[in-house]
Every structure is written in C-alpha cells, then in structure tokens.
Chain A
Amino acid sequence: MPEVLVDIRDARRVYELDGREVVALEQATCRVRPGERIALLGPSGGGKSTLLHLMGGLDTPSAGSVTFPALGQASELRPGKVAFVFQAQSLLAPLTALENTALPLILGGMPEREAQLRAMGALERLGLASVAAQLPEELSGGQAQRVAVARALAGSPKLILADEPTGQLDSDSAKHLMDTLLKALEDRDTALVIATHDRSVADRLDTVWRMRRGVLKTIEGALA
C-alpha cells in the first residue's frame, strides 16, 4: 500500500461568523495518496475550500486530526511539497508571469537565476513562453490560470490543491486549462485534488468526492 500524503480523520471545522456558528466541515475522513486525481464536487459554500485548506495546512481543524504521514509537519508543506491553484487573480500583480512562476522556488530558498530557469522550463512546457515577460493584467483569464498552474508545477510538488481553477473561465478556456494540467501531470506521481462545482471538470478525474453542506462523501478510488 503506497504511503499516505494526507490523512484526515473526523475533522470538523467551525467558524464564528456574524455572531453565529457556521459549520463549514462535518466529521470528514479521507486520505490522499501519491498519483491520485480527485475531484471535490459540490455547490459553492459547501465546505470544499475548507477541506482543501486543511489538506494544504493553511487551516487547522476545530476537532479531529489532519496529518501528513509522507510529507512531515504541517509547517513544512509549503513551499515545495504542496502547491495551490486558486480560482482567479492568484498571481501577484506587480510581478511578471516568469517572476510569479519562480516565486515559490525563491521562497523555498533557491537562488534567483536557477529558479528563473526552472520557472521558464515550466512555462515552456505549458506553452506560455511567449507571455513570460508580461504582467498579470496583460494576460487573458485563461492564460493567467495556466501561469498559476505552471507556478504550482514548477516546484515539482507531491500534491497540488486547486480551488475552482476554472471558475471564472469560459468553457473553452476551462477545457484548455484541464488539458494542460492533466497532460503536465501525466507521468508524474503528483497527487491532484480539484475543488469544483462544474461536473464537466469533475468528470475528467479518476475519483469524485461529493460535498454538500459540509458533509463529505468519499468513494475510494482504484488505489484503495
């Protein structure tokens, strides 16, 4: 049995909002293993982002446990082992596409020149070499999201967590993005979890987990 990247047991997350308690996540239990392609499908506000943030160590559960057996401590996940792709506007506005892509590598301590070479490689693989010197505001929505994917891939992470990456794209651009992402991960061991409300996105992944009103229903995939 391959080692487990993320192990979530009975995790519950409650927020205080406006004086009332909002349960974002109820008693979720799930595991993510290397090479898995998981869709987290459900309506917005259903707790998908919360689960994703727990998986990436951005957030901690109110009850239950989240561990990273094959990755180490929660504080050691980023940059390097876990990479995020967000819905939109996750590029830093003052930095060019290349600088944005190199950023996680530099944050991880890589010398600038080497980081830029690696980042350029990642952009080239995704067919984005021509926009390397452009600022985010000069990119189309689809291009910007593909740069965000390149940024996630550049550091060769063990796990990529994507939160509605196609949310603001038209269907053609969304398909292009999914093609690019899946192709880039084709022969890799990297696990991928995509939170989405779009069934056409979910349909392209091996495993679909459903989420509604904070309740997670996992259907263990082939690797279980």
Chain B
Amino acid sequence: MSLVWFSGLLSRRPLRIWGAALGVALTVAFLACLGAFITSSTATMTARAVQNVPVDWQILLSPSADINTVAQATQMAGTRALEPVGYADVAGFSASTGTTVQTTGAGKVLGISNTYRTAFPKEIRPLIGSTAGVLLAQQTAANLHAAVGDTITINRLGLPPVQVQVAGIVDLPEADSLFQAVGAPKGLAPQAPPDNVLLLPQAQWHQLFDPQRVVRPDSVRQQLHVRLSAKLANNPRVAFSQVHQLANNLEVKLAGSAVVGDNLAARLDGVRADALYAQTLFLFLGVPGAILAALLTLSVAAASGTERRREIALLRVRGASTRRVLRLASLEAAAVSIAGVILGLGLAWLAQYLALPVGSSLGSVWTLLAVGLGILLALSAVLLPTLAALRTQTVSVARQRVGRSGVPLWQRLWVDVALLAVSAALFWRSAASGYQLVLAPEGVAKSSVQYEAFIAPLALWVGTSLLAVRLLEWALRRRAFTPALRPLAGNLAPTVAATLERQRGLLSRGAVLAALAVAFAVSTSIFNATYQGQSRVDALLTNGADVAVSGTTASPASSQLEALRAIPGVAAVEPLQHRFAYVGNDLQDIFGIDPAHLTQATKLVNAYFIGVTAQQALLLLRSRPDGLFVSQETVNDYQLKLGDPVRLRLVDARDHQYHVVSFAFVGIVREFPTAPKDSFLLANADYIAQQTHQSTAEVALIRVSGDRQQVAAKARALAQNLPGARVTELSQVQQRIASSLTAVNVAGLSRLELGFAVLLLAGATGLVLLLGLTERRRNFTVLSALGANSSQLGAFIWSESLVVVGAGSLAGLLIGLGVAQFLVKLLDGVFDPAPEKLALPWIYLGTLLVAAFMATLIAVGMARAASTKRVTEVLRSA
C-alpha cells in the first residue's frame, strides 16, 4: 500500500521529492567539500611545517653525561639521523688583510662531522669554496674581510690562540634555532645568534677545545642533533602531543643527563593554533552557505504545504490514523534523505575534482557529519510540514483563517534592531581590544576557540536579514515601488503594486534568500581577495619582491642590474643596499634605498612605519639625505627623539675598517622587505655610498610582469657570475613560510563557495517564482481571459523577480560587505601587518551580477512558460 502511495509521489510529485532531495544534496555536498578542504589544508600545514624544521631535536648534554649512553637512549625513540655537534665559546676571531688586522667580538666554534651536512641540509648552505674542512660564516667573513685560503686566528678562552685556514664560506640560514638556548625556561626572550661563527671538523674541534673544556668547562658543550623517524599524525594537535610525549619520555629516561630542545614540537605548537584558526575561519566562511542551502530546502518543502495539507485532510477523512500519516511521511522523508545523500556525495565527488586542491579526500569524519546533517535536514523538510498540517487538522476542521496577516512577533519586538545593536557593540569592543580568535598557550597541548568572537558577525548576519525583510515589507505595504514599476507595467503599475503588496510575505522571504546568497558570495569573494592580496604582501615582505637577487658586498647584485633589466618579463629592477652597522656595541642590518624609485619594484605598506604612511616615510628620506629610520627597540634603548643625530659605525671601502657615520633620526620602522624581524636600520643608499665610498648594492629587487619562474631561472643563470649570490622567488617563499595560515591556498575553498553561491542565488530566485506558480497560473489564466497581452502578463512576473533579485541583491551586498569587514578583522590574528582595507574583486562581483541576471532571466522565462501554458486547458478543468 505504502508502495503505491510512494511510487505515485515519486513519479507525479517530482518537485516535492526531487526539489527537497536536491536541496539536501547541495547541503551535503557543500559540507562534505568544506570538510575535505579543511582536512587537507590541515594535513598540508602539518606536512609543510614538519618538512621545514631543520633539526627535529637538539639534545643538550650535561657536562658530565656520556655521549654514547645518551645517543643509545635517543635511538630507542626512533631516529633517522643522529649527529653529535660541539659548541665552544671563543673570545673572538682575527684576520689580517694586507697591513690591517680585523678583530671581531665574541663568537662560537662548532664541531661537526663530515656527514652532518647531508643529514641536516637546511643548516649549512655553502657559498664559496669547499664544503668540508674549516668553514667560516658569511657575516664573520665579511667582518674579517677573509676569503677562502686565508688564515684566521681563533682567540680561545683561557688558552693561547690557534690558527686555522679557511676552506669555505657558508651561510647558516637557521642560525636562530641552531644557537638556541636549549632548556632555557619558557618566556625568556630568545637570545640573538652569535655574530661570528666558525665550523670545524669534529676531530679538529676536539683537538682544539677539549683542552678549553678543562680550563673553562662552562664554555664548551655538546649536543646531539636528531631527525626523528616516527610517522606523525595529520592533525597538528595530535602530532604535537605525539612528539611532545616522545621528548618527555626521553628526558625522563636520561634522568637529567640531557635536555631535549624540541624544535619539532615547537613548530607543531605554532601550527596547531594556525590549524585551529584555519578550521574556524573556513567554517565561518562556509557555514552560512550550508545554512542557506538548508533554508532553501525547507522553503522548497514548505512550498508543497497546501498540497500536503489537502492530502492529510483526505487521509484523515478516510480513517487513516496520525501514526499512519506519519508513517507515509517518514517513507517520503527516507526517500528524500537517500536520494539527497547519494546525489550530494556524487556532487561532492565531482566538486572535489573540479574545485578542491589535489589531495583532498572525502574519507573523513566530516563526510559522515555532512551525511548526518543531510538526513536531519530531509527529515525536518518532510516531517515538520506534516506535523504542522496534522496539528491544524485536529484543532479545527473546515475553518478558514480569513483576513490579512498580522505583524510577526520579531517585528513587534524589534529583534532585528536589537541584534544589530548587539553586533555593533561587540564589534567596537573587539575592535578596541583586538580579536583573539584562537587561544593556544605555548607548550600546552590544549587550544581553544573564542566562539564569542563569532557572535558579532552572526548577529549582523541575522539582524540585517531581518531588517531587510522589515524594510521590504514596509515598502511593499506602502506600495513604494509603484513609480519604479511604471516603465515596466505602464498604467498597470498600481495593480501590480497591489499584487506585490498582498504577496509581500512570499516576496520578502524570497528576497532574503537571494540576499543571503549574494551576501555569501560577496563576503567570500571579498575575503578571498583580501586574503590573497595580504598573502602576497606577506610574501613580498619576506622575499622583498617577485624575484630577489641577494649578493654580497664583494660580489654585489648591482653589478648585474642592466643584465637583469634585459630579462624578458621584468617590469622593474631596483637596487637595495644591505650592509651592517654598529649601533653602540650592537651590530644591526642597515638597508640603503633609493626612496624615489624603490616602490617600482616592491610594495610598501603603511603598517611598516609608525606614525607616518609609507609614502610620507619615503618623502622624509628624500628630503633628508642623512635621514635614518630605526626600530622601536633602538629608539627605546637610546632614548632617541626625532631629529636627534645618530652615530653609526660602517665599514669604509678604502680601509675595510668601521668608521663613524652620522645620521639624523627621522622615524621608526617596524618592517621592511627582506629585513629581519628584529632591529634594523633604514637610510638613503646615496648617503651610505658616499660615506662608505662604496656605491654597490648587495640586493636587486625585481618586479615581474611575465612568468616569475622563468625570470627567476634567467636571474639564476646571471647570478653564476656572483659568488655566493642567491636568487629567490615569491612562491618559494610562500612555501617556506607555509607553517603559517597565510600560506594556505584558499583558492580551492573560494572556487567551491563561489560556484555554490551562484547556484544558491539561482535557486532562491527560481524558488520564489516557483512557489507562487499554482496561484500565478490561475491568475494568468484569468488575466489572459480578461484580455491581458503578453507584455502585461510579463509585467507581473518581472516585477516580482525584480523585487526579489533587486532588493535581495542590494541587501545582500550590504550584508556581504559587513560580514567581510568582520572576517577581515578576524584576520588580524593571521596577518602581520593586518590588512589595511578590503580588496574588492570587481571582476568576480561583475560575474556574480551577470549570473544573477541570467538566473533571473531563466527563472522568469520558465515561470512565464509554466504560467501561460495551456490556458484553455486550465480553464477547461476549472
């Protein structure tokens, strides 16, 4: 029996079953894709983070510990590489160039085995000369003016100096972690890596520093550098606990004879907060879409309410019990669930190939969750209207609710305005104190999301939607659209306006669905554009420009400027001096720029400077040749006031000695392309060149208009002429800072969400026109019998669509902008510096507009065809 009923529904009520199933499918597909994206992006973040850790563990041995015992215990934890490294403090190094002798301050001498470089390739980057033997750090070589083959004197502590011959010059890119204070209490300011470093073969190091250990035991330590072999979990939170526990176990086992410097856990610690941040952010971006799809599904289901009420009334007349009615409805719900879920998973599978990044997988708990929610949605879509119909059925029979509908409770209580007020209050409070979306205390395995942060945008979302309904209903009631309808409907305009007024409930509901779809698309696209733009600024800050050529003072990139400019696809090349200067006893990086032309090759953001815009900062330097920007820290240390003279010591090319050069303090700089995160200095390149008698620029910044990779390859070929020079390219950098959320590519998510938004918009518009179809078909029949021509009939449909799409889009745009503003505010926690303003993706917004218009056009066409079809047949059966 149920089968007859059910097959009848399936074949003759296609919109009711398949419409609801399609809504469920969209919801399931979207949630599953969102989940797949989140899972894959988290896994990527973990994988990249782990990849970028130069040394997983640095185990510091206590002076009395036996290195072999510790090594054995460590191997039990599972290692792929294990290398002993000796660390010795020395008083300094000296070297003579011709007649002058250069001497450095305190430094460190490392003892490494000849397999170290292959085991930990990220730590040592050879620049010039041999990769084995005595290796001198680049900066030390610059300080000493030492080259390969030169002899260096090591001033040991408490022992006579010794001499070694330099076999190669190297760079130590990961000096910060290499020279970290292992076992130092948390919260202690990280110490700066030593300025002067020399690397010795293990045997030679022992020979020179075992004696020093005897006289100065505090100055010589040994570490074990470890690469773990354990397979880590995809989720950074889990991986963190895994590594953290391994390290703890080892420390317990070693009972005080060694401390583990857990670089891997520290990196994962950072990533787990980022991953949680990403997850929450993506959810916040995506959930409105899912809610919208669910609303759309419920509306489709509600559209069959009259039909359903009629069916249930007849079933009851024929003696069917409430239970039986519910059983029949459950069967329908089951069909909608099954069809919706299968269709949804199919769609998700398709979307996975079309929109999501490679490696995304639907095989996660997210997909299960999506299926569960889909089933829940299907059940509510069918059973809620059934229950409602059953309730009205028993309360009264044959009693019609006559009259014009009243004002809903939320409008009488001004819920919309209250929500907006709440949103505004929370926003100002948060804006004042700064958003802190994710709390992940360092070193603690638990991290938490500040869900309160979402109340403000959520209240904005709901409040504006409700306000839009109120305003639209008010306008429809006042027939405010009558003048606007004149061009479309002529003298029929008041009649059309009256029709619209009486349909205001349906129209405003449709307009809100359209508004939410538009808002979803707008906020997503603006967020995406801002995110991409900011991500680029972030990468530019690290790399300096699209492509950067970093040479040395001895072999400067500026020698190749013309050749670089000649590379096809290069838009601009600007030189950048990168040298070192003593501020008191502190050696800092100093950058010399050409303020008139620098921005041709790179982008400066206002947040780089304090108190002035980037533009003003450059003007300051141009007007003051000896102008100097310094870091906040330096200002504090030296109590500087604007205009104060600052005396720096720079190397003069004539005698390779540091000489005092006088600058004027003109402002504070926070960040600058290629500059380190800590203290640095910024001045005019011309002034530095004139004072140091050296006009070369170590770095060349290249802005590319063509293919970045190709330009970088050509630049690399040119850099062969510059010993020690390095060519870096933007996407490489984005890869390198990948542990951070900024490097996650949100393009897949955006593609997914934007495609979905267009579908939803078309759905919302089509739905409204479909919802009124039965009623409209009757009206159209009457109208054509009365003699309305086709353009007069069209006026009714067009004005309905225009109210829905027009008012909906306008409200949607406002909601979208507001929500985007919130989202970008949330990004304060991700980007440093924070984005200055929203980036509006005009092309996308234009496309959206066209898509909305096309969807409307199609919906109107279909509604017209459906409404005017078989007028005489409708009449005959009436």
Q: Which residues of A contact B (CB under 8 A)?
A: 49-50, 53, 56, 58-59, 77-80, 82-84, 86-96, 99, 102-104, 106-112, 135, 137-138, 151, 163
Residues of A within 8 A of B782 (CB): 86, 90-92
Bound-state Cα–Cα, A60 to B295, Å: 45
B792 contacts partner chain A, Cβ-Cβ < 8 Å: yes
Q: Is there contact, CB below 8 Å, between A106 and B495?
A: yes
Query: Contacts A95-B495, A106-B491, A107-B792 hold; do A78 and B787 have CB atoms under 8 A apart?
Result: yes
Q: Does B254 contact A (CB under 8 A)?
A: no
A109 to B492, CA, bound (A): 8
Q: B492: which of A83, A96, A106 is its contact (CB, 8 Å)?
A: A106
The interface residues of chain A lying within 8 Å CB-to-CB of B784 are 58
Assembly CA distance A198 to B815 (angstroms): 60
Count class of interface residues, chain B: 20 to 34
Q: Is the CB of A138 within 8 A of B875?
A: no
User: Out of B402, B778, B788, B878, which one reaches A87, CB within 8 Å?
Assistant: B878
Q: Would you call B491 and A112 a contact (CB within 8 A)?
A: yes
Cα(A103)–Cα(B787), bound, Å: 10
Contacting pair A49 B403 (CB below 8 A): no
Q: Report if B325 contacts A (CB, 8 A).
A: no
Contacting residues, chain A, for B878 (C-beta < 8 A): 86-89
A88 CB contacts on chain B under 8 angstroms: 878
Chain A residues with CB under 8 A of B495: 95, 99, 102-103, 106, 112
Chain B residues 859 to 878 lying within 8 A of chain A, measured CB to CB, are: 871-872, 875-876, 878
Report whether B402 and A104 are in contact in the complex, using a CB–CB cutoff of 8 Å. Answer: no
Chain A, Cβ-Cβ closest to B403: A138
> When the two chains form their complex, are residues B491 and A95 in contact, meaning their CB atoms are under 8 A apart?
no
Q: How far is the CB of A145 from chain B (nearest CB, A)?
A: 14
**9 A–B contacts from the bound complex (CB under 8 Å):** A53-B875, A78-B786, A91-B782, A94-B498, A103-B495, A103-B786, A106-B491, A110-B491, A138-B402
Which of B499-507, B624-632, B685-693, B707-715 is the interface stretch? Answer: B499-507
B204 at interface, CB cutoff 8 A: no
Interface centre among B501, B503, B872 (most CB of A within 10 A): B872
Contact B502 A135 (CB under 8 A): yes
Task: Tell me the smallest distance from the CB of B783 to a CB of chain A, in Å.
Answer: 7
Q: Is B775 an interface residue (CB 8 A)?
A: yes
The answer for the CA separation of A151 and B499 in the assembled complex, in Å, is 18
A-chain residues with CB within 8 Å of residue B876 when the two chains form the complex: 49-50, 53
Among all A-B residue pairs, the 7 with the closest Cβ atoms: A78-B787, A79-B787, A94-B502, A94-B499, A59-B872, A84-B785, A104-B786
A108 to B875, CA, bound (A): 22
Are the C-beta atoms of A58 and B785 separated by less than 8 Å?
yes
Q: Quick one: closest A residue to B501, CB to CB?
A: A94
A83 to B782, CA, bound (A): 11
Q: Does A86 lie within 8 Å of B498, measured CB to CB?
A: no
A79 lies within 8 A of B786 (CB): yes
Q: How far is the CB of A68 from chain B (nearest CB, A)?
A: 14
Set of chain B residues within 8 Å of A95, measured between Cβ atoms: 495, 498-499, 502
Bound: A104/B789 CA distance, A: 11
Query: A161 — nearest CB in chain B belongs to which residue?
Result: B785
Give chain A residues whose Cβ lies under 8 Å from the Cβ of B502. Answer: 93-95, 135
* 8 A Cβ contacts from B366-406 to A: 400, 402-404
Q: Which residues of chain B are within 8 angstroms of A99 by Cβ–Cβ distance?
A: 495, 498
Cα-based distance from A82 to B786 in the complex (angstroms): 8
Cβ distance B800 to chain A, nearest Cβ, rounded Å: 11
Interface residues of B in 767-799 (CB under 8 A from A): 775, 778-779, 782-789, 792
The reply to whether the CB of B494 lies closer than 8 angstroms to some CB of chain A is yes
* Contact present for B787 and A104 (CB under 8 Å): yes
Contact call B785/A56, Cβ cutoff below 8 A = yes
Q: A89-B778, A138-B403 are in contact. Are A107 and B498 (CB under 8 A)?
A: no
Q: Which of B491, B492, B502 has the most CB of A within 10 A?
A: B491
Contact with B875, one of A49, A94, A112 (Cβ below 8 angstroms): A49
Residues in chain B near residue A86, CB distance under 8 A = 782, 785, 875, 878
Q: A94-B501, A106-B492, A138-B403 are in contact. Are A80 and B787 (CB under 8 A)?
A: yes
In angstroms, Cα B871 to Cα A108, docked, is 20
Q: CB within 8 Å of A: which of B463-518?
A: 491-492, 494-495, 498-499, 501-503
A109 and B403 CA atoms in complex are apart in Å by: 31
